[in-house]
Structure 1
Amino acid sequence: MDDAAIQALAALGDESRRRMFAFARRAGRPISRDDAAAEVGISRKLAAFHLERLVEAGLLRSHFEQAGRLRKVGRAPKLYEPTDADVRVSIPPRQPDLLAAILLDGVLGDEQESPLESSRRAAFRRGERAGEEVRVRTRPGRLSAERALTLSEATLSEAGFEPVRPRPGCVRLHSCPFHPLAATQPEAVCGLNHAFVSGLLSGLEATTVEAVLDPDGGECCVEITAAGDRSG
C-alpha cells in the first residue's frame, strides 16, 4: 500500500485543510497564508500550520514570492500551490493505470493481430521489462524454484499485486489487480494478467517456475508454481 497516499489522505481528514486544498486547486495562482485564512475563516497563524501540513503530505509546494519593484523592505510572503500528486488508495490494491497502458499498447500494436492478441503481447512485454529491471537491481544469479517464487512474490508485492502463499511451492495473487473489469470480461482480463506474470518470470529468468491459469481457485486467476507442478 502507498504510504505517501495514506499520509496525503490523513492530512485531508481535517476540514480546514480540505477547504484550503480545494481553494488552492481552483485559485489558478499561488495563494498566501492570508488568502487561505480569509477563505477558511481562521487566523493567519493557524492557516500557516495547516498549509505546512499539506506541504509535508506532498499535496502543496511552497516558495517565497520574488521581490518586485514595489517591495523594498520586509520579508517576501510565502506562497503555496498544488503539486502534481495523484492520490489514490485502493483496498485491495488495483492496477487500472497498468491495464489502461497495456490496452493502449495493444490498440497501437501490430495491425496484423487482433486487438486482444496484441494486448496480450503488450502485457507480456511490460511484465518482462519489470522482471528485467528487478534482475539487474538484485543480481540473483540462477534461480532455484523456491528462490524464484520468493523473488516473484516480492516483485509482485512491490507492484501492488498482493501475492500470497496458499500452499508450499505456490504464489498466487490474492485479488485480481484488474478488477472490476475481470467480472465483465474474465477471459480477456485473465489472459492479460497471465501474460503479464509470464513476462515477469521471463524477465527474471525464472525458468524453474511458471505462471498458470487457475480460474477456479477462488481468488485471482493466475498462480506461479514450480515448472510442471500442478498439484494442489
Structure 2
Amino acid sequence: MTDETSHGALASASRRRVLDALRAAAGPLDARELAAATGLHANTVRFHLDVLARAGFVTESAAPVGGRGRPRITYSSATPAAGGGYELLAEILAAGIEAGGGAEPAGRAWAEGAPAQGFDDAEARTMALFTELGFDPRRAGDGGIELHACPFLAVARRHPGVVCNVHLGLLRATVEGAADATLTPFARPGVCLARLSATR
C-alpha cells in the first residue's frame, strides 16, 4: 500500500462519511445499514468500503447466518479517528501517564531550573511561563492568576487528572523556593486559576 492509496481513500467526502459512520457505530455494520446511516446508495457504499478496505481503514468479516444463503458481510473501522498531530500525540501520552501515574512529577521535571528569587520573581516567572505556553494569563483581582485559552483544552477535559497535574507540576517547579502554588482546574468555564502564596 502506498501513501497515495491512503490519501486517496480519504479524498472523497462521501467515503469519509462512510468511515465516520463506522467509527460512530456501536458494532460492525453491513452495506445496507451504512447506506441508511449515510444516505448513500448501497452500491456506492460498497464501492467506498472496497477502497477503504484496500487502504487499511476498514476490516470486513462474515457474520454467521441463521439459515441457508451467503453470510452477511459486516465492516468495522480498523483505525481510530485522529484529531490532528498534536491532539493525537497528547491523547496517547495523557492516557499513558494516567495509567501509570506521575503527571505532576513529569511537569516538575520539565520545568526545573534556577530557583525563584523571592515572591515577585515567582509571580513574574508564572506569568512568563503560561504566556509562552499560550494560556493568556491574567492577574485576577483577588491576587490569583487566571489562565485563559488553554492550548490543551480538548485533552484536559478528557484527562484532567493528567493535563492539569502536569500544569501544576510546571507551576510548582517554576516558583519553588519562593512560593507555594495551587491550581484550580476549570474554576470558571474555560478558565483555570493559579494561586501563589509566599513560602514561610
- Shorter-chain TM-score bucket reads 0.3 to 0.5
TM-score normalised by L of structure 2: 0.44
More strand by share: 2
TM-score normalised by L of structure 1: 0.39
